[in-house]
């Protein structure tokens, strides 16, 4: 019998769809004879008592979730998300550098260092990528810290804000599409396929309404795995292969018949009735992976 | 061997500036020298760039992250037989008092504070320490019992200027494990034994002329030993 700890923070229970997904994981584990306990930050020292750790709290090398992941890893436990995946996925500079090295089809991207924020460099970027461009902080998640800039003034304003935390940023070609493919991958195999629709009049899946702090999200349309375009499958698996063998959500855009990777996320969102709609077995598959 | 440095080194040492290195594709055994290896800062990206190019580099990105996360620093140190004291990661004051006791030394474990620790000798001091390092109790801290005197030493390629043999031995072992060329170590001495407590970045102004000479000497030594950087 495998004992699985699911590391969560309080916010993981604030959305009923996420809470339902967490209960689905628990039910799937118990059905297969495993123990499944929620592990909160005050009980981190209990990690040695478990066989596997499944992280659902947001991951980043600077968050408690990394301490949990690395502790479990050092103690020889099975862990999703593993520290190497967190290290690569939580830093888009790392990820895009690997994509370039391994020739993964991707959105045209250049890196900008803090010392390089000069008129000549910004002009060069606009000449290469066109206007507007998308400025992405390496630590982006849930569509945050990704902003558009169409002129040098707004470019400098956004970049200066993002440079407060990271000394290098990613600048990407603005590539609007009606939706992003979201491909769930586990251990080099496709877990689920969705379309993350872009809200009307917006350019990213999660967008703020003008002047308001609320984020609106586009619909999630679940797609049967058998209907997945073969090239989409190939690109998604290839992108994950340069990162690791964990659980990932790959964002891919379809541009002129080509599939280009936007990013690979560790710790992908799993909401009941959304990512699992066509593939209700995803809970069981993730639990089996952890208890294998 | 390539030396990438953000600090002014002795004249006998040829070094490439981080900005130049980040634009290049020079593949070579790389020593990344900076006083500040914090995650997301230029020092981190230098090691990242070298790793992606396929070069051997010190320090590695993994070690940069792990050494700055006190619970992981201590866990890996324990596994490598470097003396440490038991630690607790929590955001709960009462738990610290019950399980660690007082006096206690508290290190921040959050995305915003990269250096410093606080010593609390009584409950109200612990509340203040947790409030400040845990940013109003929002984040966890790493608490360790304070059993003796806390020392802070500069480590230059594992060498310290302190004459204490045990602290020097810890500094050397921490360098062998994490390969962070320049940092500060917090070590406590209790009952005539030394225990590693934490690691933090150096300020550039903390590097003396003697340290710069020592850096030159260590790099010459690595070069003479066939660029073996122990990766």
Dump pLDDT digits (tens) for A246-259. Answer: 999 999 999 999 99
The whole-model pTM stands at 0.95
Q: Do A71 and B41 touch (CB under 8 A)?
A: no
Poorest-pLDDT segment among A24-38, A257-271, B12-26: B12-26
Q: Do B41 and A167 touch (CB under 8 A)?
A: yes
| Res. B89: pLDDT tops 80 | yes
Residues in chain A closer than 8 A to B76 (CB atoms): 74
Q: What is the pLDDT of residue B229?
A: 78
> Closest by alpha carbon to B199, among B229, B177, B222, B215?
B177
On average, the pLDDT of chain B sits at: 93
User: How many interchain CB pairs under 8 A, A with B?
Assistant: 83
Which residue did the predictor score with more confidence, A200 or B48? B48
Question: Could you tell me if B186 and B152 are in contact, meaning their C-beta atoms sit under 8 angstroms apart?
Answer: yes
Dump pLDDT digits (tens) for A94-144. Answer: 999 999 999 999 999 999 999 999 999 999 999 999 999 999 999 988 778
**Is some CB atom of chain A closer than 8 A to the CB atom of B137?**
no
Q: Do B72 and A70 touch (CB under 8 A)?
A: yes
The strand ranges marked E within B18-93 are 30-33, 57-58, 88-90
Please tell me the distance from the alpha carbon of residue A139 to that of residue A137, in angstroms, as a whole number.
Answer: 5
Element holding B106 (H helix, E strand): strand B104-108
Residue A173 — very low, low, confident or very high, per pLDDT cuts 50/70/90?
Answer: very high
| Res. B114: pLDDT tops 80 | no
Dump pLDDT digits (tens) for B93-111. Answer: 999 999 999 999 999 997 7
Alpha-helix runs per DSSP H in A102-251: 119-129, 152-163, 230-241
How far B24 CA sits from the closest chain A CA (Å)? 13
The answer for B116, left when phi > 0, alpha when psi is -120 to 50, beta otherwise, is left
Q: What is the pLDDT of residue A61?
A: 95
Contacts of A281 (CB under 8 A, 6+ apart): none
| Res. A214: pLDDT tops 90 | no
Please tell me the distance from the alpha carbon of residue A261 to that of residue A234, in angstroms, as a whole number.
Answer: 11
| Res. B112: pLDDT tops 80 | no
Q: Is B83 exposed, middle or buried (0-12, 13-18, 19+ CB in 10 A)?
A: middle
**Is some CB atom of chain B closer than 8 A to the CB atom of A58?**
no
How many Cα neighbours within 13 Å face the side chain of A288? 8
Give the mean model confidence (pLDDT) for residues B26-49: 96
The strand ranges marked E within A105-257 are 109-113, 133-136, 146-149, 168-173, 179-186, 189-197, 206-208, 215-217, 220-223, 247-255
**Distances from the Cα of A56 to the Cαs of A8, A247, A276, A289, in angstroms?**
5, 11, 16, 15
Please tell me the distance from the alpha carbon of residue A150 to that of residue B127, in angstroms, as a whole number.
Answer: 48
Dump pLDDT digits (tens) for B147-189. Answer: 999 999 999 999 998 879 999 999 999 999 999 999 999 999 9
How far B44 CA sits from the closest chain A CA (Å)? 9
Contacts of A185 (CB under 8 A, 6+ apart): A191, A236, A237, A240, A247, A248, A249, A250
Residues pairing with B141 in the sheet: B90, B108
On average, the pLDDT of chain A sits at: 95
> Closest by alpha carbon to A236, among A185, A285, A169, A192?
A185
Please tell me the distance from the alpha carbon of residue A37 to that of residue A5, in angstroms, as a whole number.
Answer: 5
Residue B40 — very low, low, confident or very high, per pLDDT cuts 50/70/90?
Answer: very high
Contacts of B12 (CB under 8 A, 6+ apart): B216
Please tell me the distance from the alpha carbon of residue A69 to that of residue B144, in angstroms, as a whole number.
Answer: 21
> Closest by alpha carbon to A174, among A218, A131, A123?
A131
Task: Tell me phi and psi for residue A13, to 5 degrees.
Answer: -105, 5
How far B116 CA sits from the closest chain A CA (Å)? 16
How many Cα neighbours within 13 Å face the side chain of B29? 11
């Amino acid at each position: 019998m495998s004992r699985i700890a699911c590391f969560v923070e309080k916010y993981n229970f604030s959305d009923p769809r996420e809470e339902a997904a967490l209960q689905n994981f628990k039910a799937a584990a118990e059905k297969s004879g495993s123990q499944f306990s929620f592990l909160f930050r005050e009980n981190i020292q209990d990690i040695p008592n478990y066989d596997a750790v499944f992280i659902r709290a947001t991951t980043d090398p600077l968050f408690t979730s990394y301490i949990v992941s690395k502790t479990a890893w050092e103690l020889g436990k099975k862990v999703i998300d593993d520290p190497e995946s967190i290290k690569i996925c939580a830093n888009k500079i790392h990820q895009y550098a690997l994509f370039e090295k391994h020739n993964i089809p991707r959105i045209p991207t250049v890196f900008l260092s803090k010392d390089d924020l000069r008129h000549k460099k910004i002009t060069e970027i606009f000449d290469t990528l066109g206007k507007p461009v998308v400025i992405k902080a390496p630590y982006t998640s849930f569509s945050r810290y990704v902003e558009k800039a169409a002129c040098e003034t707004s470019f400098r304003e956004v970049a200066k804000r993002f440079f407060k935390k990271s000394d290098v940023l990613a600048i990407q070609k603005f590539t609007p599409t009606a939706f992003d493919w979201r491909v769930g991958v586990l251990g080099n195999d496709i877990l689920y396929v969705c379309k993350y629709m872009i809200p009307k009049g917006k350019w990213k899946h999660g967008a703020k309404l003008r002047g308001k702090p609320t984020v609106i999200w586009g619909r999630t349309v679940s797609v049967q795995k058998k209907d997945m375009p073969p090239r989409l499958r190939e690109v998604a698996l290839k992108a994950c292969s340069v990162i690791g063998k964990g659980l990932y959500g790959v964002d891919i855009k379809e541009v002129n018949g080509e599939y280009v990777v936007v990013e690979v996320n560790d710790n992908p969102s799993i909401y009941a009735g959304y990512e699992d709609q066509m593939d209700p077995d995803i809970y069981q598959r993730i639990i089996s992976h952890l208890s294998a | 061997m390539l030396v990438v440095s953000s600090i002014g080194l002795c004249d006998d040492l040829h070094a490439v500036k981080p900005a130049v290195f980040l634009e290049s594709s020079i593949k070579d055994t790389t020593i990344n020298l900076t006083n500040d290896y914090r995650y997301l800062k230029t020092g981190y990206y230098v090691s990242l760039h070298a790793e992606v190019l396929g070069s051997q580099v010190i320090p590695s990105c993994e070690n940069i992250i792990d050494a700055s996360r006190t619970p992981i620093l201590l866990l890996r140190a324990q596994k490598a037989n470097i003396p440490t004291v038991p630690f607790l990661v929590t955001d709960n004051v009462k738990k610290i008092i019950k399980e660690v006791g007082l006096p206690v030394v508290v290190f921040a474990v959050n995305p915003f504070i990269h250096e410093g620790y606080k010593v609390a000798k009584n409950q109200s001091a612990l509340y203040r320490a947790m409030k400040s390092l845990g940013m109003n109790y929002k984040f966890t801290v790493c608490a360790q019992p304070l059993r003796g005197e806390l020392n802070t030493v500069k480590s230059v390629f594992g060498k310290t200027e302190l004459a204490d043999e045990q602290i020097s031995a810890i500094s050397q072992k921490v360098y062998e494990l994490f390969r962070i060329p320049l940092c500060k170590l917090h070590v406590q001495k209790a009952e005539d034994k030394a225990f590693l407590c934490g690691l933090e970045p150096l300020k550039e102004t903390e590097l003396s002329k003697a340290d710069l000479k020592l850096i030159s000497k260590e790099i010459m030594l690595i070069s003479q030993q066939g660029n073996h950087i122990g990766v």
